[in-house]
Structure 1
Amino acid sequence: MKTISSVVENYIKTKPFLLSALSQGIINLTSLARNMMPELQQELGKEIKQGAIVMALKRLSEDLDFRLNHKIVKVLKSIGEITVRSSLSDFTYSVSDSILHKQAELITDINDHSDIFYTSSRGVSETNIVVSDSVAHMVEKHLAGERLIHKFSNLASITVKLPKDNVSTPGIYYFIFQRLAWEGIIINEVISTSYEFTILVNDDEVDLAFKVIKDLKSL
C-alpha cells in the first residue's frame, strides 16, 4: 500500500541533486512540498495536505542526514594523499586482436623513461591509455594501425587514496562526483582500483577540482 511517506521518498530518490540538498538541510521544505503536490496526488489518486508532505520531507531529511552524511563524511575525513599530474594525453582505441601485443611493446619502451605518467584500462570494446604528453608520440608509434576513437590533450589527473572503509560504505563516489558536478567540472576519464581513484580533467579546471576534493576532508 502506498503511503505519503513512501511516495515522497521515491520522488526524492529519483532526483539525486535534490536528495543531497535535502540531506544537507539547504532547501525550503514548504516550497518543495508545493511543487511536489500535483505529482504525488496523481500517484496516490487522492488529495494530499501540503503539511503532510512537509512532515514526510522533514522525517526523510533527518533520516538521510544519518544514512548519508554520518557514514560518508567519516570516510571522506580519512581521505589520504591527493596527487596531481599535469600535461597528460588520453587515447581511446577500439579493442582488436593485436592491441595487447602492441601495448606490451609500448610499456617496454616507456619503462626506459623516468617520472612519466602511464595508466591503461580495457573495456568490452575500447582500450584507454593515458600518458604524459612527453611520451604521447610513443603511443601513436606503437599503436599505429589501430583504430583511434579519440585523443584528448592538455589534461591533468587527480589521484585520491581512499581508506579501506570506502569499499563497504555506499555513496562515496556519488558524494565526490556530485560535488565536482556542482562546480561544473567536466570529468574526462575515471580510473579506479579498490583504494584509490584517478580523475582526468582539463588543465584549466584542475585547481578547482583539487580544491573540491581537498575540502571534503574538512566536512
Structure 2
Amino acid sequence: MITVPEATEKIIRRSRYLSEALSKDIINISGLARYIKPEIEAMLIKKVSLSSIIMALKRLSGNIYPDTPYQEIFKIAPEITAKTNLAILISDSNIKDSVHFLETQASTGTVILGKKEDLSKYAGRNSRFFYPVSSISISIPKDAIDTPGIYYFFVKSLAWERINILQVFTSPMELTIVVSDKDMQRTLEILRSLFRRT
C-alpha cells in the first residue's frame, strides 16, 4: 500500500515546475498541500489529513533536487545574439512572396519576423502587426536535441520574470525568442545570468 509521503513524492517529482519550486523554497507548502490533497486521496483511496501532506512536503523539500542536465549540456555559455527594431506579422492567410527574417506557417496562417518596411505591405484586415520588437537567438548545442525540456529552461526563466514572449521560433540548433523592444535588455540580462558561474 502506498503511503502519504510516497504519493506526495510521486506527484512532486512528476512536475518539473513543482519540484523546482519546492527545492528552491519558493512555494507555499500549505497551499501546495491543499492543491495536491485530492490527488493523494484518490491514489490512496482514503481521506488523509492536510498536516500529513504538509509534513511529507517539508521532508521532501530538503531532499529533492530536480534533474537539471542543462549545466552538463551548456558547459560554456551559448552564443546569444539580439536584433532590434524588427516587426512581427501574424496573418490568417499564407504569404508566398515575403522577404523575411524568420517565418513559420501552419494551417491557421503565417507568422513572419522581419523588417518593418518588408512586412507592412502585408498588414491588413486578417493580420496583426507588432512593431517594434526584438529577437534574441540562442545557439543550442547538438547534445541538446535529445534533452526533454531544453526550451523550458529558457522560457521558464523569462516567465518567472514576467517577460511577455510574443513568439518563439525553433530549429534543432537555435532558439529565437521574440519580445517587445522595451523588454529586450532585461530579456538579455536574464538569459545571460543563467550561465554565470558563481
Structure 2 CA distance for partners of 1:124 and 1:9, relative to 1, 3 Å: farther
Q: Residue 162 of structure 2 aligns with which residue?
A: 184
In the other structure, the counterpart of 2:47 is: 46
Q: Specify whether residues 36 and 120 from structure 1 end up closer, same or farther in structure 2 by C-alpha distance, changes over 3 A only.
A: closer
Partner of 1:75: 73
Does structure 2 conserve the Cα–Cα contact (< 8 Å) formed by 1:79 and 1:163?
Answer: no
> 5+ residue gaps in structure 2?
none
Percent identical across equivalent pairs? 26
Equivalent residues in 2 for 1:106-145, closer than 5 Å = 106-107=98-99, 118-137=101-120, 140=121, 143=122
Per the normalisation by structure 2, the TM-score is 0.79
1:169 aligns with 2:147: yes
Distance apart, 1:72 and its partner CA: 2.3
Q: 1:72 to 1:185 in 2, by over 3 A?
A: same
1:121 shift after superposition = 0.9
The match for 2:4 is: 4
By relative contact order (CA 8 Å, sep 6+), the higher-ranking structure is 1
CA distance 1:94–1:42, shift in 2 (3 Å):
same
Which protein is richer in helix relative to its size?
A: 1
How far apart, CA to CA, are the structure 2 residues paired with 1:200 and 1:37? 35
TM-aligned CA distance change 1:188 to 1:11, over 3 Å: same
1:208 is aligned to 186
How far apart in 2 are the matches of 1:60 and 1:172?
24
Q: Count matched residues.
A: 195
C-alpha offsets along residues 46-79 of structure 1, whole Å, 9 cap, x if unaligned?
334735653466447634x252x3x123224534
The residue matched to 2:195 in structure 1 has which SS? helix
CA apart distance, 1:24: 2.9
Please give the alpha-carbon distance, in whole angstroms, between the structure 1 residues aligned to 2:180 and 2:92. Answer: 23
Work out whether 1:62 is the aligned partner of 2:63: yes
Q: Which residue of 2 aligns with 1:159?
A: 137
| Structure 1: gaps spanning 5 or more residues | 108-116
Task: Give me the TM-score of the superposition, normalised by structure 1.
Answer: 0.72
Aligned residue identity for 2:113:
V
Aligned-pair distance for 1:156? 0.7
- More displaced 10-residue stretch of structure 1: 37-46 or 80-89: 37-46
Residue 90 of structure 1, CA deviation: 0.6
Deviations 1:147-172 (A, max 9, x none): 63211111111000011121122222
User: 1:18-61 deviations in whole A, cap 9, x for unaligned?
Assistant: 332113344565x4675457535643313347356534664476
| Aligned equivalent of 1:94, options 92, 105, 127 | 92
Once residues 83 and 189 of structure 1 are traced to their aligned partners in structure 2, the CA distance between those partners, rounded to angstroms, is 16
Q: What does 1:25-44 correspond to in 2, within 5 Å?
A: 25-27=25-27, 31=30, 35=34, 38-39=37-38, 42-43=41-42, 44=44
The one-letter amino acid paired with 1:150 is R
For 1:4, give the aligned amino acid. Answer: V
Q: 2:174 aligns with which of 196, 201, 206?
A: 196
Offset of residue 91 of structure 1: 0.7
Counterpart Cα distance in 2 of 1:119 and 1:33: 41
- Pairwise CA RMSD: 3.2
Kept in 2, the 8 Å contact 1:79–1:217? The answer is yes
CA contact (8 A) 2:8 2:40 kept: no
